[in-house]
Amino acid sequence: MAEKTKIWYLQNFNLLAGMNQNIKMELAEKTTDQASAKKDIIYFPEEPSNTIYFLKEGKIKIYRLSEDGKTTTLHLLGPGEIFGESAILGQDTHDNVAEVVEDAVICAVDKHDFQDLMEKSPQLAISVNKFIGFRLRKIQSHVEDLVFKSAKDRILAFLHRYVSTFGKQMVDGWMVRPFLTHKEIADLTATARQTVNQVLNELADDGVISFSRRFLHIKGDLNQFQ
């Protein structure tokens, strides 16, 4: 990918907002790009943590796998977000699984190259620290949902986060394309697929949403799902 195109992509990352253009150019020179298909695994637990990933297109699911094979989803990431941050936290291996949910284009940079850039740019170092703090707060909020909210409330809270992150506000509400399968939503909310099906159908019957595999349309104020 041409360096100019890489820089254009990097402009869309909040982590790099307002960053010195020379730093962005140097980062672009040190990155490699890869296209990944749905269901591809970017990394598993215990694999070496030596790369920072910038998600340019698509969606990535970060989840934890227990010894009995159960999964707990921690994040659903979209374009403009980074992952693999354990590489800059001093961890030698990954704790979680990173799986492609929607065909993705990912930019990868070696952790040592990224750390060199952080040393050159105090602003980048500050942005990284803020990002890590924000990511930890999101994890805490998600865990609290799993512990304290009912299955229905977890699904409603997920719909709010999902649409506010990936959707577009319309005259008559919010639209997000494409939508997820009921199984994917169940995995993301630690609920049963049948429960997801029931909650979505109830919302559709009440005229609150309309949906298919291709889209989710929330009619009216998104805050009704909080």
Domain ranges of the chain: 3-147, 150-225
The DSSP H or E segment spanning 202 is: helix 193-205
Contact 186, 175 (CB under 8 A): no
Phi and psi of 82, rounded to 5°?
Answer: -115, 160
Rounded-to-integer distance, Cα 33 and Cα 109, Å: 9
Residues of the chain with pLDDT under 70: 1-12, 18, 226
Class for the domain spanning 150-225: mainly alpha
For domain 3-147, the CATH class is mainly beta
Identify the pLDDT of residue 68: 79
What are the C-alpha distances in Å from 89 to residues 32, 61, 109, 126, 154? 21, 20, 15, 14, 30
pLDDT of residue 11: 63
pLDDT, residue 39, reads 92
pLDDT at res. 206: 92
pLDDT at 1: 47
- The predicted structure's pLDDT at residue 4: 45
pTM of the model: 0.80
- Which residues lie across from 169 on neighbouring strands? 174
